[in-house]
Amino acid sequence: MTFNYKQQSAIGTLFILPKDVDASFGRDWLRKIRLDRKEIRKVEMEINYDDELKKLLDDYKDVMEETVGKIPNYEYNHTLQGANTKLIFIRPRPIPYALKPKVEELE
């Protein structure tokens, strides 16, 4: 990401976090840009996605959603190894009450 401050410009790494947090500068950015720390009162970010990134996000928007999904038409086989392998049957864990509607949507 390109970072601009007054007449200075630098390229640095930007990490997108899954939570709402205040913007902060990493040490690599602070080494490249000389900030007037007394003057800075508020940090604002303006994100400009280029066309290629927008296309990529649009093409794969189903992957970027925060929903539970399933793989259609997929079979899985598991082979046990070893002559002394024994099957163990364990009672399935109960689904938490709050998650039952979401699980029922998948069925």
Encode pLDDT of 48-78 as tens digits: 667 777 888 888 887 777 777 777 788 888 7
- Read off the pTM: 0.29
**10 neighbors 25 (Cβ within 8 angstroms):** no
Domain boundaries, the chain: 2-64
Query: What is the structure's pLDDT at 104?
Result: 86
Query: What is the structure's pLDDT at 46?
Result: 65
State mean pLDDT over 77-98.
83
Alpha-helix runs per DSSP H in 1-107: 27-32, 51-59, 61-64, 100-106
